Structure 1
Amino acid sequence: MKRGDFIRLSAGLAIMAPLINSCAEKKPMPGKIIGASSKTGHLLRDHAFGETQDSEPKQVVIIGAGISGLSAGRHLLKNNITDFVILDLEEHSGGNSSSGANRISQYPWGAHYIPLPNNNLTEYLSFLSEANVITGYDQAGLPVYNEYFLCQDPEERLYINGKWQDGLVPKSGLTDAELSEFHNFFLLMNEFKEMKGKDGKDAFSIPVNTSSKDERFVELDKITMNEWMRRQDFSSAYIKWYVNYCTRDDFGTTSENISAWAGIHYFASRKGKSNNASYNDVLTWEQGNGFLVQHLQKDLHQKIKTKSLATSVKYKNDSVQINYFDVQTKTLKSYTAQHCILAIPQFVAARLLEDQQRQVLVKENMHYVPWMVANLTVQQTEERNGQPASWDNVIYESESLGYVDATHQQLQQRKDKRNLTYYLPLTHAEPEIARKHAYQTSHSEWTEKILADLQKVHPDIRKQTENVDIMVWGHAMVQPKPGMIHGNLRTKLAESIHQKIHFAHTDIAGISIFEEGFYQGIGAAEKIIKTI
């Protein structure tokens, strides 16, 4: 299903000192820490901007060129609304689905796959057909997926009890009782998958807002996943590790902090059927979800203005004034729009709106977990015994989520060099503390931690690694803690202001997956289409 491993960030200087000293003794590893543009983004927090004299008229201004913003722009264009612009701070669009490339391959800087889509998501399936991910439909109406994009075998492996095993569900070295717990757990998840509420809706659906509001399911949002597992007598160390791995992977949140509803949604919401794949298959590319970004924006290139930091959004005289800082020219500019879509995290939206009540509400209730993602260029490495190298490679009890092989989908069999994308959600501390530590960690310190972790499974990793580039996502995704999904907060924050300022982002969905961003964008665009 996902990724692999890493070493805990040190919380004190006493712990950091030995690591720093060990880094100094080793030859520096080539590479760098690259965007996102957090320093420029902090201008919004740390500095006041004035007003501009001239303002350019626009029908719609979209702030944010992540999945939600691009999806909104695409939907507007499909409905013949063409007078709009998309502003984004970064050099490239895509948000945490962005990607990079070198002479070996492309590689992801964030989200790197999509699960097989549910068959009722018609707009999403239509988009995937446009991108040639779906090549057609069979006589039964089931989609046929492009074989080049279905993850090739071997798909995933787990290093556990001294060897690599096939799949990420622990089984190597487990007792019959421990294996039985997994059997019972997945039986229960399959039951949840089929359940419907008194309102006739699926108990767990995508988008989350289409899920049942039946109280017996809503109750699950009031406790943590760990508490739910305790009540169900799932107690082995192996199943606890596995569920915690899954919640950290999809939500950047440990199972002791995540809502039980969100944790179960991970397992029970995927129901896609296909002519040539099953619901638990994944679609992936060298550049990860950067492939989907390319197709979302293929008709939007003239509409996207990168290196543009929005500084304020104000409703006045039945229109919306949007000020933004042009990073390249270092000048403040302005649009006057009929509508504005804030396709950005809520903590940023609250600042742009200068809404103190909203800022307090967001700060107290929405917590954004930081991530570190690294791309390593490596020569062929020594392997431990067991399952051969796979797309997704995970180490049991590692604090990282392991790595994916960005070159895995390439057709050639012989690969002298590979790009490995390594994932670490920083869940060792509260997000604000973890974020501060992440920004203060040097390239050499990050590199030492990564290599020390991977050395467990590739003894020659230091010798075979040629370059390590690192990305720190300070606010990668919101944590769906208890009360987030079925409380009133998401509904309140999603309400349009004066029917002119609209919101679209995965944080007001509560779950940061591609489909949620895609449909958030469509939802905001639809509000505008109905009024124009």
Structure 2
Amino acid sequence: MNGENTRNKPLTRKDFLRYMALIAGAGVTLPQFVACEAKKDQYGHIQGRIYGASAAVGHKIREGGFAAPMHTETVDAVIIGSGVAGLSAARMLHHNGCHNYKILELEQHAGGNAGFGRNAFSAYPLGAHYLPLPNLENQPLLDLLQEAGILTGYTADCLPMYNETDLCYDPQERLFIHNRWQEGLVPQFGVGEAALAEFKRFFADMEKLRWQRGSDGLYAFDIPMARSSRDAAYLQLDNLCMKDYLQQQGYRSEELYWYLDYCCRDDFGAGIPVVSAWAGLHYFASRKGKSANADSAAVLTWPQGNGRLVQHLQQFSNNNLQTNGLAYKVTPQGREVQVDYFEVATGTTKRIVAKACIMATPQFVTQRLLPAGQYDHQFVYSPWLVANLTLDKLPESRGYPLCWDNVMYNSRSLGYVNAQQQSITQEAPEKQVLTYYLPLDHLSPADSRRYALGLSHAHWVKLITDDLETVHPGIHAQLRTIDVWVWGHGMIRPHTGFITSDAIAAARRSGYPNVFFAHSDLSGISIFEEAFYQGNNAALALLDYIRT
């Protein structure tokens, strides 16, 4: 399966707009969608702009034509990419006494899809916005959280204690279903007994699976996923999609299918007909976190989302970070690696000569930087839209009050997060800030990416506003700003057969003794824990190399 393939008959821009109207949950036809653009007075007061990864500059890699490097510097190591994997690698180098290195980052800021922004009223995430409690065996991650002051210590029975202001405040989650909000994301309001019984059975099965071990003694599902069992009885689940698995297990509930589809789209950017059953089950059975002062299902979150973790990681490499630096060529030569990059601010090309290199880049970038023909593994990436909304006041709705996570049943979006949930001030905010999430999975990734990057800000304003009007009538009049961030390659997509494929296994091997790979797509799942794990491993391997 290759989800990047487009249809034989190319879509037109109108086709895409029709699909996007449906994605927003408005259910309108194309003529209605286009006609609404004329209603300037309804949406014209909403300011904002489109942000996003620097696609135009990044595409220079594909186009080529760079001038010969005008300046050369020599370091011990170079890291390409300052997402969580790259920053984690830099931290590991720092803690092991290696300070003569450089990080190249295309964007103006570090963090990748764990980055964040800020306006006059709140910080807000540009992507990943929470971290579940780590598994007790994941000591490197627990150490990071303790180093950052998020984990405050351990009890006598070795259970971690977390800072209360870092644990998600109540109320945490609500779902809009049958024209009102209910507490929690599992559908309950207006749901029949048969469906509720299926939910009970599914969660009981997941609890049992959580603690099962394979013939190799490893948990069937674990984090980091490299510690998961290689028992064929579990790995074969990668050969069918999550929807087929549910059907085989006798599940029939529409509400259960919606909930699991929502969960997969939330973590993988694709639904249960696409995501492998192994990945879908990993979502539920891999997490085994415990704490002395929080429920095992609790999450750590901040107004800036996982940007809080990025801020901590970045402090170890601030003096080593080169932003607006587009690496365009990596040339291993014996005991050295030459990294050529384009300095966007000055329009000049430069070269770094290092003993070793960590490529903390997604596979579609890695394959273009190294010598041709070796790394084209055809990974599939899910495109995303994240929008931060500033409004005067959120119109009230029936049922449960505003929570941290607010989801709408049967919407193509994933709803919105209240960016100010973790605020400790006693005063009501002057403006409200919400972060809205929409995986662009209605079309193939290539089609969605191509057309989404071409949409105007006005189109996104209408799509987002129409979706939210269904649960908050009158919200369009309250909105002041919608800042849109389009992630063309938001996260790796663990489609059927990918986790156990030869492609991902081959992608983990650089073929050079002094070039190391570090990115969550090498795990097949785009979560903080995997990026952190990949970055640490690459840094330790690099240290072993340069010290021999």
Alignment of 1:387 with 2:386, yes or no, is no
C-alpha distance in 2 between matches for 1:435 and 1:471:
13
- Given the two structures, how large is their TM-score scaled by the length of structure 1? 0.96
Counterpart of 1:97 in structure 2 is 114
The Cα shift of 1:319 comes to: 1.1
Alignment of 1:246 with 2:257, yes or no, is no
C-alpha distance in 2 between matches for 1:403 and 1:10:
18
Counterpart of 1:351 in structure 2 is 368
Counterpart of 1:371 in structure 2 is 384
Counterpart of 2:425 in structure 1 is 412
The Cα shift of 1:490 comes to: 2.1
C-alpha distance in 2 between matches for 1:153 and 1:176:
28
Alignment of 1:32-431 (within 5 A): 32-52=49-69, 54-359=71-376, 362-363=377-378, 366-413=379-426, 414-431=428-445
SS for the counterpart of 1:9 is helix
C-alpha distance in 2 between matches for 1:524 and 1:355:
22
**8 Å contact from structure 2 (residues 21, 33) kept in 1:** no
SS for the counterpart of 2:283 is helix
* Partner AA of 2:301 in structure 1: T
Counterpart of 2:13 in structure 1 is none
Q: Per-residue displacement from partner, 1:270-319 (whole Å, max 9, x unpaired)?
A: 10111011221111000000000000011210011000000100112331
The one of 494, 499, 511 equivalent to 1:480 is 494
Alpha-carbon RMSD: 1.6
Unaligned runs of 5+ in 1: 1-6
The Cα shift of 1:173 comes to: 0.5
Compared CA separation, residues 89 and 16, structure 1 to 2 (3 A): farther
C-alpha distance in 2 between matches for 1:351 and 1:294:
29
SS for the counterpart of 1:370 is strand
The Cα shift of 1:15 comes to: 5.0
SS for the counterpart of 2:505 is helix
* Partner AA of 1:378 in structure 2: L
Alignment coverage as a number of residue pairs: 522
Q: Per-residue displacement from partner, 1:37-70 (whole Å, max 9, x unpaired)?
A: 1111111112322432542111100000000000
The one of 465, 468, 472 equivalent to 2:479 is 465
The one of 2, 10, 20 equivalent to 1:9 is 20
C-alpha distance in 2 between matches for 1:55 and 1:259:
46
**8 Å contact from structure 1 (residues 381, 460) kept in 2:** no
The Cα shift of 1:348 comes to: 0.5
Moved over 6 A (4+): none
C-alpha distance in 1 between matches for 2:183 and 2:159:
29
C-alpha distance in 2 between matches for 1:337 and 1:357:
22
Shifted more, 494-503 versus 190-199: the winner is 494-503
* Partner AA of 2:411 in structure 1: S
C-alpha distance in 1 between matches for 2:480 and 2:462:
14
The Cα shift of 1:16 comes to: 4.3
* Partner AA of 2:450 in structure 1: K
Unaligned runs of 5+ in 2: 1-17
C-alpha distance in 2 between matches for 1:78 and 1:16:
56
The Cα shift of 1:489 comes to: 2.3
SS for the counterpart of 1:529 is helix
Alignment of 1:505 with 2:519, yes or no, is yes
Counterpart of 1:3 in structure 2 is none
**8 Å contact from structure 1 (residues 60, 84) kept in 2:** yes
Percent of aligned pairs sharing the same letter:
45
The Cα shift of 1:411 comes to: 1.9
SS for the counterpart of 2:375 is helix
The Cα shift of 1:79 comes to: 0.6
Shifted more, 16-25 versus 188-197: the winner is 16-25
Counterpart of 2:507 in structure 1 is 493
Counterpart of 1:454 in structure 2 is 468
Shifted more, 19-28 versus 258-267: the winner is 19-28
* Partner AA of 2:40 in structure 1: K
C-alpha distance in 1 between matches for 2:446 and 2:512:
33
**8 Å contact from structure 1 (residues 19, 445) kept in 2:** no
C-alpha distance in 2 between matches for 1:156 and 1:25:
34
C-alpha distance in 1 between matches for 2:460 and 2:371:
36
SS for the counterpart of 1:358 is coil
* Partner AA of 2:471 in structure 1: V
